[in-house]
């Protein structure tokens, strides 16, 4: 698993840690740290959470989060992350993009 990602030239550290139940991941925009719940380590689903938190990081770096309510930002992050995950990271998606047919 990657240890960091770079968003608009800013490095975000990726760590695994225990998060409150019901929380899969979080993005600390001030510290530039993405935390993913330990229980997801090694699962394919981890990419869905990482994508979601990356979108929060992008919103932070382009200051889009200041133009959106928290609810709206959550809705956008969820829907984009799910769509990208389904297309490129789900079993079906990986199969689809790795064949020449």
Residues contributing to the site for Zn ion (CB under 5 A) = 74, 77
CB of 19 to Zn ion, least distance (A): 12
Nearer to Zn ion, 45 or 74 (CB): 74
DSSP type of residue 60:
H
Nearby residues of 101 by Cβ (< 8 Å), 6 or more positions away = none
CB of 40 to Zn ion, least distance (A): 14
CB of 46 to Zn ion, least distance (A): 15
Nearby residues of 34 by Cβ (< 8 Å), 6 or more positions away = 5, 12, 13, 14, 15, 25, 26, 27, 28, 50, 53, 54, 57
Nearer to Zn ion, 57 or 89 (CB): 57
Question: Which residue bears the tokens 């990602």?
Answer: 5
Nearer to Zn ion, 25 or 89 (CB): 25
């Amino acid at each position: 698993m990657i240890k960091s990602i770079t968003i608009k030239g800013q490095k975000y550290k990726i760590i695994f840690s225990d998060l409150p139940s019901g929380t899969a991941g979080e993005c600390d925009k001030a510290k530039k740290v993405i935390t993913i719940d330990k229980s997801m380590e090694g699962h394919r689903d981890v990419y869905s959470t990482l994508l979601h938190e990356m979108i929060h990081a992008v919103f932070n770096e382009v200051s889009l989060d200041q133009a959106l309510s928290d609810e709206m930002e959550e809705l956008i992050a969820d829907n984009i992350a799910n769509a990208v995950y389904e297309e490129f990271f789900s079993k079906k998606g990986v199969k689809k993009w790795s064949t020449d047919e």
